[in-house]
Amino acid sequence: MSTTITTRAQDRPMFGAMFSIDDIQRANRDAGSHFFDADTMRFFGSRVLPTVYAGRLFITSERSGFDHYSPRSYTVREFMPDGSIETVGDFNGFDTPAQARAEIKRQRSTRHSWYFAGQHGKNGRERTYVVTADDPWQAMDRLHKNFRVMHCGRAADYMTGEHYPHLSA
């Protein structure tokens, strides 16, 4: 399911698009992160909403204080190809799940999910990654430097077979 890349700090697996929260949690744990650990979730009073948008985006809710009576606020999160979780916009920036979903809709209209098909290294394993970014060049910057892109395009066009080989590096 994953390929390992070497970074300065540690070896980390690379992951493609995720289709369920369980997949994201498993990949995050495999990458050595503690974002979804029970102790971490309990400390922040976190909950994860069950839907994954565009293969990478999801919503969490946290209590704004450290007691059970504090109201919940919502945050849009992005699962990254290295298995880490990033915050999109402001932490606890939304009062309702509907507001967070509206932000995801806005992000999806300005930040597209781009797919990249290629291989790691000269004769490495072929992989397809989906990365959310404003444009394909920004998305390519998020891929590992040894990943050779053979085809890329908007993930929405992936099913139609459209791709943009002229963007290959």
- Model confidence over 37-82: pLDDT tens digits? 999 998 888 999 999 987 788 999 998 777 778 899 999 998 877 7
SS3 9: coil
pLDDT score for 60: 97
Instruction: Give pLDDT tens digits for 2-30.
Output: 333 333 333 444 565 677 899 999 989 98
Grade residue 31 by pLDDT with cuts at 50, 70 and 90.
confident
Phi, psi at 110, each rounded to 5°? -110, -35
User: What is the DSSP track for 11-50?
Assistant: EEEE-----SHHHHHHHHHHTT--TT-HHHHHHHT-EE-S
Is there a contact between 20 and 28 (Cβ–Cβ < 8 Å)? Answer: no
Q: Provide the token pair at 14.
A: 């690379």
Q: How far, in Å, CA of 169 to CA of 160, rounded?
A: 23
Q: Which residue has the higher pLDDT, 32 or 112?
A: 32
